[in-house]
Amino acid sequence: MKRLLIGNLALNGPAGHGYAAARPRIQWAIGWVLALLAPVLLALAMSPASAQTAARATAAPAAARTVLVMGDSLAAGYGLAASQGWVALTADRIAKTRPGWRVVNASISGETTAGGVARIDGEIKRNKPEVVVIELGANDGLRGLPLSQTRTNLDRMIRSAKGSGAKVLLIGMRMPPNMGRDYTQGFADNYTTLAKQHAVALLPFLLEPIATDRNAFQADNLHPVASVQPKLRDHVWPKLEPLIR
């Protein structure tokens, strides 16, 4: 048989000793408890401090504003620890200097502009960024893809970002001279043309601070080493910082 305890009253099943018999004593006890608590409950209900506490408890925390980075291995930090790349270092700086902002690094090593086009709408929908950083094109150039194809893909990414209401920072690259003068010049012109056309912020060449220093690169001569990542962060920052004020 179940046994229910209320205060010091044991409520069993049989009549005369169960709930019916104990009910007058329970009601008397409850009445006294309510009488004692009533002034306290009334004071709490009227207290501004308690109202503020309740409001704070029920208010939803403000959502972080997002910088979304869509890049290739140069932004993904190829060959580096997760915390060493310039994007991670930028995220650290933003966390310290711009409360309420965060960085989502959606960069993938080996990514082309075609891959960026395929992914950007999903990343925007998922992360709802205020700022989109587009650092793509290097793999197109190294593969010798048509300049018009790269330009079209970057154009689509910029349109997607702006269409969502986000600000855009376009980060450009340069091709080595062995690609030919026309190709290398046309490759660089893609970025300047698109930035002017869409009125977006432009950093013409990500690797400019380190491009002539062989020691700044890993053995593949393509990807920067960890020690120069702060230089890249500081190179990007003057273009990015106005967008997150």
113-127 helix and 147-163 helix, angle to the nearest 10 degrees = 10
| Token digits of residue 114 | 């075609």
Give the CA distances from residue 171 to residues 44, 52, 71, in Å, rounded to whole numbers and listed in that order: 57, 46, 9
Amino acid letter at 16?
Answer: G
Q: State the Cα–Cα distance between residues 135 and 86, nearest whole angstrom.
A: 12
The whole-angstrom separation of Cα 103 and Cα 88 is 8
State residue 220 phi and psi, 5-degree precision: -75, -5
Could you give the residue numbers annotated as active site?
A: 73, 220, 223
Candidates 103, 52, 129, 114; CA nearest to 233 is: 103
Please write down the long-range contacts of 145-149, taking CB distance under 8 Å and 24 or more positions apart. Answer: 145/112, 147/183, 147/186, 147/187, 147/190, 149/113, 149/114
Instruction: Match 């690259």 to its residue by tokens.
Output: 173
Q: Supply 183's token pair.
A: 């190709």
Q: What is the DSSP letter of 226?
A: G
Helices H / strands E in the chain, number of each: 9, 7
